[in-house]
Chains A and B, each alone.
Chain A
């Protein structure tokens, strides 16, 4: 087959007929020049393809001839093919048993429809999440009536995975946040000679706002995504269906242990982030403003009212609840194709972080109004 030259078309213009003399190998790898030539050609009369000189032909070659004939005919010029070899004719009959139908792609819907549909979907998603929460709480009441059914071991395992094993990353993140805040504030405070107020800045901003927020974001990225992927995988492998048929309720076995574990662990992680973050600030204060550690701690004792610290810790369970519930809900939404795990994991992390920030804003307004 290699010895046959590439497909070519010689155009012979006669009075009332244009003859295309075809030769060479009309196979997919050698057909492109002929294809472009035919694509560009605009005939002025009837067309005849003389295919006697074609050395080899495959489905691409036949498709090109048939397509050209159809194109010329739609331009209003009759076209025909002569001189087909036996092999050629057989292949054509196989490939074109009937005129090829093609279905036009669907036209994209109007922008108004798209906006409406997106909005409606958003509402449906909220509804689905609320019904998920409803089901979870109904089953929680049932679970609390039979406390023996509580999966303590599972709770323990999730405390280990979402809490203890998250300590290193939380230490690093909150230490760096402590450094960043201290560094930025100290430059401003030094202008007024008010270096010592770095202690107030660090103490209050970290323990009340930044430590809970950073911890929640790390947990959402780390444990929230893991929850979605775990449940999603179980959904795809039909483990969830298997559990349901055996009467193992997924809320008792999968949802509440994770939610409870995260709600227990979150305030502890925030407490840990407080310590490490403030330590980060302390290091910066001693390096840039010669505030010794002892001085810093003494000042912290006066500056940091207990309420700031407690408010920070109190946010923990709320954030944990939102992160766990939204990521588990997304996990249960995973469909039976592997692509959707990745999609829902991404959505779950985005949702969790958004909810955490929205909840934090709500706390901020509420607590300020309450003069706390």
Chain B
């Protein structure tokens, strides 16, 4: 297959997936027994308010009609209003999103850091205790429920490291004096480290495995043999010829593990009371605020689809051989 065909095919596939996700989102939320408004847990809401909500959502029209309205609104970036607070959902999503993105990015960074380190060591010291330890360690962490690992970290490590275990910023910061930008950033980072560490620990085993086998594969290639024959040092061989080529699959993995990291982020944010998309989902479930839940789910799904596409295209750019 030609390169252009490959790109077009991946893009079309991503568009198809978006369409499936959007439709699934619509079908799931309309299939609930009763309707979204009656399910709402809200004591102050009057009957008039609920009727208004139903009209607003178009629940009095036919399903097909509703689907068309839903698609139309979505195309304009309108995800409706919160059933509870009447606020537009897009503005509700904004702040949690700005908290979740850096946390998930830091988590992915931790996963890559641990995974690549252990993977390279495991491949370089193949068959030794270091190799086995890396693999088993990665596998063991991968088998832990993230929320549980979060609790264990709070219990044993947080106090020892002196890091905050809840929230996104210190309540005392900026009350007495005006904090500098650096102080604010450091404070944010401190609150981010533990949840991100939890996610990174849970996922890194996957990176270990992929990096290890990719390293073993590349170290067996002819060009590595050639570089040794040329008299290059061990370090230069591993770094320039082994490592750089072995990093290719890691690109795909970042996108692939994103789905799992995001899933884990929902429970981990709950454990650390970290006000991101995950905590928003937990609150929306608790209050049965289905428009918020729907929008948050769609946002997560779309970002995973997007990063998958990005990884496919990036991989193609780096290694045009992959057009299978």
Asked if chains A and B come from one complex, the reply is no
Contact surface of B with A, Cβ cutoff 8 Å? none
Contact surface of A with B, Cβ cutoff 8 Å? none
